[in-house]
Structure 1
Amino acid sequence: MRVRKRLCGVLVVFLFIQLLLLPVAEVRANAGPPNISAESAALIDVASGRILYSKNGDKKMRIASLTKTMTAIVAIEMGQLKDEVTVPPEAVGVEGSSIYLKKNEKLTLEELLYGLMLRSGNDAAVTVATHVGGSVPGFVYLMNEKAALIGMTHTNFTNPHGLDDSNMHYSTAEDMALLSAYALRNPVFRQIVSTKVKDISWEGEEYNRRLLNKNKLLHLYNGADGVKTGYTKLAKRCLASSATRDGRQLAAITLNAPDDWNDSAEMLDWGFRHFAMKEFVQYGETIQPEPAVTLKEGVQLVTTNAFRYPLKPEEIPDVTKRMVMSESVVTEKMNGQIIGFLQFHFRDQMIGQVPLKVQVDTPTWANTNEDTGADFWQQFWNLMAGGLFRA
């Protein structure tokens, strides 16, 4: 009897544990979008530029100091990091966050960029803008020009710092995600925004400025490596964040987010959990042509780069590929030329294309010297002397 009771007890516990586990597995398999506080948000895969998640992502919003992402990348691309920059009078005492620049103080552009991105110095923003653009309006023109080139179609900048000076300074979460991904592909920008502590010069003082990055996510989230905090009375709390895990980098934008740190962590977790990079072709892979294309003997088509794209497992069958060629007959005279593309489509949208290069198979005995005939006979006689004529 006791043995039977013990067996029954063990069975009940076992079944109870199984019942507890089943709902957890079901929730993970059918997990919905992130539950976040932000009024507007977007999540992007940095390498591909695919928007993985959006909440009111195309709504025009104030973006506060997330503006400085654009200020920084324009300065990095158009300025010289080692340039000595003199602080102009108009930069001194700008309201809001500051690194306490003094009139006519000299710093390098690189030092100013650390002050801009780690401590969100509005005085640094004006100094950078004046140096790179010749004036603040001149630099703002460059900012909007870059926004158009990136594809930020719902964005307009009126200043380099993001202070609430006009209803005409705005962007969207999706546009800012595109900007963050673009900037994070730049190694200088990536190094700056992932830095937790930086010392820069402080002219006239006995010690350097010590800059502590305001982005707490660098300490709170595993793999966090950027990007920028932001706050004004009208924009409320804004955050651009990024993280890299297993070689994949995601970036998240939250605008007017009372719980921004947790919002970002939730979004990044969701993106890493539900999307994986699917490789469709490798670099140098031989591609079989479509029936309408004829390859002469000894000629093949190879890819000039790989193509990978972030997808949910259930989305993979929705990716199709097609070959677009400029020639219907491919001969050895086209060796080394790009004559077409292998295009990839996800549902009704093209997500990428890989150039196809003509490659001619070369016999193992041949080489690239012009006097191929002489080289052939030299190899022939060497072979004969070392083989057939040996006693």
Structure 2
Amino acid sequence: MRKIAALLLALTLLFGMSAPAGAVSTSASSAVLMDAGSGRVLFEEDMHTPRPIASITKLMTALVAVEETSELSQTITVEPEWLEGVEGSSLYLKAGDQLTLETLLYGLLLQSGNDAAQVIACWIGEDLEGFARLMNEKARELGMTNTHFTNPSGLNQEEHYSSAYDMALLACACLENPTVANICATQNISLEGRTFVNHNKLLWLEEDCVGMKTGYTEASGRTLVSAATRGAQTLVCVTLNDPDDWDDHQALLHYGFDTYPVTQLCGEGTTVGQAAVAGSVQPTVSLVAQGDCWYPLAEGEQLDMQLDVYSPLTAPIPAGTQVGTARWILDGEVVAEMPLETGTGVEDDRWKPNALVRWWMGLWGKSWETTVPGMGLI
């Protein structure tokens, strides 16, 4: 059974001595600003309280739809029962209309069509209840603990709610899905004779904005999920019941980029340390990162790096063998991790006696490892 030996390295990243920039505030009942790469919360106001969320629900509808189907060019014929009870924003679909899933998804996320939401849900889940089950399964998978969905559009129902933090988790998952992320970032598009213009004004107001979704009902107030990318950093912002959401999102995104710029902790293939090796004349082996690792840090914050390496390391060890994990610690908590592998191979190149010497030693009842100085196992 392999033991884990903690090899502490005093690697400290210093970024000045001043405190983070002045606090920001919003007009929202709930708000959160999150670094998408690390999941670090950079700002929050009552982020875990469940509230009605209106049409930002459609981010989950789109994500489930894309994950449940592999071909967006499939043609869907609208059944009359799929349009029952539709109200609010609409693509004005009629029974018998034929559209591809791709067109329906653009109508869902850009024009916020409630009829598109129901058609997608009934086509994939057979009915609204079946699709809601898929939505809630995905929510549990993402760790959305203060969320429950009952419909694909976000129309008001007592058991349909989420929190700002949970919606940020969903937004991060949508950004990791290339299809959903691309649709959310589209300003306008024409498909199958229909033109859709994105309701998200931030796509025009903020050059770094890459989506995502607006919402409004009388019960929820204005809800908004936005995302912006600057260099290697992507931020997600969520506000619920915010009458000044455009201004608040711009202020929060600027605050995040300016106050918590992302810092590269390691790059794929870069050496982050050394580890002792037994059974070889080569005393150590280099430890290299298996990927890139970034983390947002404010001025004055510092990280310590800890290397946890499988112990003991004994030759032979091929190059590229995973041998441990690098962990970065902020204020006593692990905030980032990266698997480590050997940068080069290590051979068992110790001197070994030939058969005659081993026979002679055997006559005296001796082991060559214990007889020859310096040749024993470490």
Is TM > 0.5 for Structure 1 vs Structure 2?
yes
**Residue 91 of structure 2 corresponds to which residue in structure 1?**
99
- The 2-side partners of 1:103 and 1:295 are apart by 75
- The alpha carbon displacement at 1:148 in A equals 1.2
Q: Secondary structure at the match of 2:300?
A: helix
Q: Secondary structure at the match of 1:332?
A: coil
- The 1-side partners of 2:209 and 2:285 are apart by 47
Residues 194-225 of structure 1, C-alpha deviations (whole Å, 9 max, x = no match): 11111122xxxxxx111111111111122212
- The alpha carbon displacement at 1:329 in A equals 1.8
Q: TM-score, with normalisation over the residues of structure 2?
A: 0.81
Q: Secondary structure at the match of 1:219?
A: helix
**Residue 309 of structure 1 corresponds to which residue in structure 2?**
295
- The alpha carbon displacement at 1:97 in A equals 0.7
In the alignment, structure 1 residue 264 sits paired with structure 2 residue 254: no
In the alignment, structure 1 residue 38 sits paired with structure 2 residue 28: yes
Letter in 1 for 2:287: L
**Residue 110 of structure 1 corresponds to which residue in structure 2?**
102
In the alignment, structure 1 residue 71 sits paired with structure 2 residue 57: no
Q: 1:339 aligns with which of 304, 311, 323?
A: 323
- The alpha carbon displacement at 1:336 in A equals 2.8
Contact residue 46 and residue 182 of structure 1 kept, 8 A: no
- The 2-side partners of 1:302 and 1:355 are apart by 9
Contact residue 315 and residue 346 of structure 2 kept, 8 A: no
Counterparts of 1:49-68 in structure 2, within 5 Å, are 49-68=39-58
- The 1-side partners of 2:101 and 2:266 are apart by 41
Counterparts of 1:146-295 in structure 2, within 5 Å, are 146-165=138-157, 167-201=158-192, 208-289=193-274
CA RMSD of superposed structures (Å): 2.1
- The alpha carbon displacement at 1:82 in A equals 1.5
- The 2-side partners of 1:268 and 1:295 are apart by 54
Deviates more, 1:116-125 or 1:346-355: 346-355
- The 2-side partners of 1:72 and 1:40 are apart by 24
Q: Secondary structure at the match of 2:307?
A: strand
Q: TM-score, with normalisation over the residues of structure 1?
A: 0.78
- The 1-side partners of 2:79 and 2:279 are apart by 65
The alignment-based identity, stated in percent, is 40
Contact residue 319 and residue 346 of structure 2 kept, 8 A: no
- The 2-side partners of 1:294 and 1:183 are apart by 46
- The 1-side partners of 2:81 and 2:252 are apart by 39
- The alpha carbon displacement at 1:89 in A equals 1.7
- The 2-side partners of 1:242 and 1:255 are apart by 15
- The 2-side partners of 1:294 and 1:149 are apart by 43
Letter in 2 for 1:120: S
- The alpha carbon displacement at 1:109 in A equals 0.9
- The alpha carbon displacement at 1:163 in A equals 0.3
**Residue 122 of structure 2 corresponds to which residue in structure 1?**
130
- The 2-side partners of 1:148 and 1:95 are apart by 28
**Residue 15 of structure 2 corresponds to which residue in structure 1?**
none
Q: Secondary structure at the match of 1:155?
A: coil
Q: 1:145 aligns with which of 134, 137, 140?
A: 137
Letter in 2 for 1:149: E
Go from structure 1 to structure 2 and tell me whether the alpha carbon gap of 1:90 and 1:351 turns closer, same or farther (over 3 Å shift): farther
Go from structure 1 to structure 2 and tell me whether the alpha carbon gap of 1:294 and 1:58 turns closer, same or farther (over 3 Å shift): farther
Contact residue 38 and residue 256 of structure 1 kept, 8 A: yes
- The 2-side partners of 1:86 and 1:215 are apart by 29
Extract unaligned runs of 5+ from structure 1: 1-27, 202-207, 364-391
Letter in 1 for 2:295: Y
Q: 1:320 aligns with which of 304, 307, 314?
A: 304
Count of aligned pairs: 326
Counterparts of 1:2-13 in structure 2, within 5 Å, are none
Go from structure 1 to structure 2 and tell me whether the alpha carbon gap of 1:246 and 1:306 turns closer, same or farther (over 3 Å shift): closer
Q: Secondary structure at the match of 1:161?
A: coil
- The 1-side partners of 2:100 and 2:287 are apart by 49
Go from structure 1 to structure 2 and tell me whether the alpha carbon gap of 1:294 and 1:303 turns closer, same or farther (over 3 Å shift): farther
- The alpha carbon displacement at 1:259 in A equals 0.7
Higher relative contact order (CA 8 A, sep 6+): 2
- The alpha carbon displacement at 1:290 in A equals 5.6
Letter in 2 for 1:173: A
Go from structure 1 to structure 2 and tell me whether the alpha carbon gap of 1:32 and 1:311 turns closer, same or farther (over 3 Å shift): same
